[in-house]
């Protein structure tokens, strides 16, 4: 049963930040509520106050600003999976969003809520990392951008300060020869492994590779060491480096043995997904 | 969940043994452990374990019972506690061993940790990782305290 709480209805991000600063751990930002309310109903977390941000203006749009794709933190997964602009510029993100949980979750759940809750099995963070996304964090007096690599600290932990609010996700628009893919594996709605790959292919040569792995461990991780095996290489040579890159990425996932599979199994699946992602982008 | 750890301490076995029985100093090495009290010297103790994974917090008032004690070499203990707020219980079977190697002491732990109730919804993997971190920090803190003294 959901315990009683007070619902705050701020009008601006500055007010949300001020409320977070004032009430600290006893208050939590509430957007879609698809994860937070479940945890509260289960009695796993207790908050005296929920700060409803759903009414805030200007945080539910998808737009392109000066070569950067800007996604408002209050955009629902459903909005993203049906965005024609994203379909054109970031089809991998659209495909990912189409497969987040189920349609009820996608209809209510927001991208910002998903990122801030930092549930280890969530999909979006991993791809956003490979896309070079930055998270815009605001508080009453300041605004900063946090690279996706620095945003995810641990399971259920982000680098947002106590009074900071995630307002936007900014993704550089991929160039004409850039490609990206996100593949996941698991049963039911919780993936046990997710792999994201983004790269540019110019005249048979690969550059700007970004690899990220998620779901298997506590938080999404970028795998720079494996990227080096692709950058500056021809597609054939990169193909030959796939097994080695898979092993490195598997280790970087910090996979945890659980009901979804053992650590070794998940590490192996990382390699398989990386290979499939690479083949789907470079063929 | 089973955990096994060994930590090498540059201090004689007697000193490590004494340290273990100095409840206040020993408990200060356990991350998140507070309010340690001796109920019966050498046999029963109480303490409160507070742990946190992101927004999820647990507070287990814990009873620790020493079941076996072999002077200078082994302690077998059991700890159990319940967090009624979130409806979860914790049980730990702990086997602590000491042996001498050259001029050092090897302090070993084998811990069987069971977490029951709603907290388990966080997932076995996450809880195991947290418990592992706590044990690691604890082992390092014991090492630092004892070696810092010499």
The pLDDT tens digits for A225-237 are 999 999 999 999 9
3-class DSSP state of A53: coil
Of B86, B119, B124, the CB nearest to A258: B124
pLDDT value at A137 more than 90:
yes
CB contact under 8 A, A120 and B54: no
Residue ranges covered by each domain of chain B:
2-144
Contacts of A118 in chain B (CB under 8 A): 54
Contacts of B85 in chain A (CB under 8 A): 43, 46
Q: Chain A closest CA to B36's CA: distance in Å? A: 26
Mean pLDDT, chain A, integer: 96
Within A59-147, where are the H helices?
77-81, 84-89, 91-98, 103-108, 111-117, 124-130
Contacts of B86 in chain A (CB under 8 A): 43-44
| Predicted TM-score (pTM) of this structure | 0.91
CB contact under 8 A, A39 and B56: yes
What are the angstrom distances between the C-alpha of B141 and each of A254, B138, B148?
Answer: 24, 5, 10
Decide: B46 and B145 in contact? Cβ < 8 Å.
no
The candidate with the shortest Cα–Cα distance to A202, out of A239, A175, A242, A237, is A175
Q: CA geometry: angle at A222 spanning A220 and A223, to 5°? A: 130
Contacts of B133 in chain A (CB under 8 A): none
Q: Report the pLDDT averaged over residues A255-276.
A: 94
Give chain B's contact residues with A (Cβ, < 8 Å).
53-57, 85-87, 118-119, 121-126, 128-129
Q: Which of A256, A261, A262, A263 to mutate to test the interface with B (most CBs of B within 10 A)?
A: A256
Q: Chain B closest CA to A58's CA: distance in Å? A: 28
pLDDT value at A283 more than 90:
no
Of A39, A42, A218, the CB nearest to B126: A218
Decide: A168 and A151 in contact? Cβ < 8 Å.
no
Within A189-241, where are the H helices?
224-227, 235-240
Of B57, B122, B124, the CB nearest to A259: B124
Could you give all domains of chain A from N- to C-terminal order, each with its CATH number? 6-52 (3.30.43.10), 62-172 (3.30.465.10), 184-281 (3.30.390.50)
What is the distance between the alpha carbons of residues A173 and A183, in angstroms, rounded to a whole number? 21
Q: What are phi and psi of A71, to 5 degrees?
A: -115, 120
Q: Chain B closest CA to A268's CA: distance in Å? A: 18
Q: Chain A closest CA to B58's CA: distance in Å? A: 9
Q: Report the pLDDT averaged over residues A206-235.
A: 97
Q: Chain B closest CA to A112's CA: distance in Å? A: 16
State the pLDDT at residue B149. Answer: 62
Give chain A's contact residues with B (Cβ, < 8 Å).
28, 39, 42-46, 118, 120, 154-157, 218, 256-259
Contacts of B54 in chain A (CB under 8 A): 118, 154-157
* DSSP class of A277: H
A140-198 per-position pLDDT tens digit: 889 999 999 999 999 999 999 999 999 999 999 999 999 999 999 997 788 999 999 99
The candidate with the shortest Cα–Cα distance to A274, out of A219, A195, A203, is A195
Instruction: Give, for all 150 residues of chain B, the pLDDT tens digit.
Output: 899 999 999 999 999 999 999 888 888 898 999 899 999 998 999 999 998 888 998 899 999 999 999 999 999 999 999 998 888 999 999 999 999 999 899 999 999 999 888 888 777 788 888 888 998 999 999 999 999 864
State the pLDDT at residue A24. Answer: 95
State the pLDDT at residue A83. Answer: 98
Q: What is the Cα gyration radius of chain B?
A: 15
* The CATH number of domain B2-144 is 3.30.530.20: yes
Of B55, B118, B128, the CB nearest to A156: B55
State the pLDDT at residue B26. Answer: 87
3-class DSSP state of A17: helix
CB contact under 8 A, A39 and B55: yes
Contacts of B118 in chain A (CB under 8 A): 42-44
A37-91 per-position pLDDT tens digit: 999 998 899 999 999 999 999 999 999 999 999 999 999 999 999 999 999 999 9
């Amino acid at each position: 049963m959901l315990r009683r709480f007070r619902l705050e209805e701020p009008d601006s991000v500055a007010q949300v930040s001020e409320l977070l600063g004032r009430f600290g751990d006893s208050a939590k930002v509430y957007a879609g509520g698809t994860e937070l309310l479940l945890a509260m109903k289960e009695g796993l977390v207790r908050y005296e106050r929920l700060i409803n941000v759903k009414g805030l203006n200007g945080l539910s749009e998808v737009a392109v600003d000066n070569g950067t794709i800007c996604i408002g933190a209050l955009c629902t997964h459903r909005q993203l999976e049906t965005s024609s602009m994203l379909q054109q510029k970031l089809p991998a993100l659209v495909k990912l969003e189409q497969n987040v949980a189920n349609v009820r979750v996608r209809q209510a759940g927001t991208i910002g809520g998903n990122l801030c809750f930092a549930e280890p099995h969530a999909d979006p963070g991993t791809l956003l990392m490979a896309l070079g996304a930055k998270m815009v964090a605001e508080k009453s007096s300041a605004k900063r951008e946090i690279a996706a690599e620095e945003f995810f600290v641990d399971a259920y932990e982000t680098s947002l300060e106590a009074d900071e609010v995630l307002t936007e996700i900014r993704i550089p628009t991929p160039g004409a020869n850039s490609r990206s893919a996100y593949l996941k594996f698991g049963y039911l709605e919780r993936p046990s492994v997710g792999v994201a790959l983004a790269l540019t292919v110019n005249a048979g040569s690969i550059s700007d590779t970004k690899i990220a792995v998620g779901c298997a461990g506590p938080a999404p991780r970028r795998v720079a060491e494996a990227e080096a095996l692709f950058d500056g290489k021809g597609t054939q040579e990169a193909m030959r480096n796939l097994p080695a890159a898979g092993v490195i990425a598997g280790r970087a996932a910090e996979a945890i043995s659980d009901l979804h599979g053992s650590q070794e199994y998940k590490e192996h699946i990382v390699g398989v997904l990386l290979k499939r992602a690479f083949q789907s982008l470079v063929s | 969940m089973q955990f096994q750890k060994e930590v090498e301490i540059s201090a004689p076995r007697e000193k490590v043994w004494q340290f273990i029985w100095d409840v206040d100093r020993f408990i200060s090495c356990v991350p998140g452990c507070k309010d340690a009290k001796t109920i019966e010297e050498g046999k029963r103790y109480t303490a409160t374990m507070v742990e946190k994974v992101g927004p999820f917090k647990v507070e287990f008032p814990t009873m620790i019972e020493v079941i076996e004690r072999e002077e200078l070499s082994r302690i077998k203990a059991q700890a159990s506690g319940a967090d009624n707020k979130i409806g979860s219980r914790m049980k730990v079977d702990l086997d602590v061993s000491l042996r001498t190697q050259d001029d050092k002491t090897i302090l070993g732990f084998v811990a069987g940790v069971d977490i029951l109730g709603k907290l388990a919804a966080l997932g076995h993997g996450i809880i195991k990782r947290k418990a592992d971190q706590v044990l690691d920090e604890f082992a390092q803190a014991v090492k630092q305290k004892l070696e810092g003294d010499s």
